[in-house]
Chain A
């Protein structure tokens, strides 16, 4: 993957208005997380405000907002190659279809990691602004953010592959919509079922929520998330290598 390829992908982002989608993602997750914490009964009295309520808000806002917007980000970045005959152009200038996909994942992946960090950071700042008592659970906070970043990256890779493989972007976006449903409902499923789809791992990463009516913090399923990272990485490498061997079209 050459520097020139990475720079080309960054240049494409300008006219694709990737910045706006990214802004929507950050503002959407932050606003939804803070609103959901504010609407919980614990938050009406400043004395009982807790960091767990904010973490629970994030655990609701992330699976609701991320799957579809990741599909949109990937689809926009890949669809231009279908529209502008970019695959053939890059293939004749030495960059294979798989290489192009890897460059897209590298560039968009960096953006998505920054988005996740911004979401977690802004919700943390909101907690400080709302004068939540006690020190914030920083290890859990950034552990959760890291787990979400991994799930986001795996989904991003999946959507880049789908958008590149199927020209009709209905496929990628349709899967994004169904993924949103899976992500939202996975919280209510037993953990075993949540392991079955990549969207379920948002539920496994959950850092706080209600158990028997009590708001408690959880330890995210780091082992499961690590396994997803390895599996996702291997599959992305395998599929993009297979793309490399496809004839120019």
Chain B
């Protein structure tokens, strides 16, 4: 029986299957969730940029690997192996190019990073406090007076309602352990450290119901910490606040 001689083709399957998965994933609904944030495009752009860069490098190196496997096959080449000790210009080449890419990425994403973490909206339309606790999201709105810590604060749980096309600031707290406030559709993820108040902001551009999940393993009930983000039109949101306030004041 003739032995299998085309191992190089086998190794070529790695880049092929890898690429095929990436091409097929969006069609199979396994790709990024729908982006409904004004800032989301920026994040996705960075994601795709890095994906392309690493993707190209991945393909090149894998194809090169397959080529070497084929080229240096002992059955094909009979001359003995030569052991070399480095090639100065080659090493310079593959050190300087990645370093250059890294510096480029570092500079390129500075704006996005600053927008996400250093430039809070000056006059947000809504401030809301979200407190993670094992295992739920406790939500507090400041109520009609716009100030927390007053008797008209509105309390809710697991269902974060926000208006569309408005700046929203979320204060993040934890009552117990590390949690991570993750809104996949808004491309927003922020760890919550107990004892610290986190602050994130976003502006949604589409109404709908989306996931709010905990992205930091926070205990045995971590999977339970699935909430809902409800993005509503301004009128519906105000209406909802009013309904909530009435419910909270129920005396019958």
Q: Do A and B come from one complex?
A: no
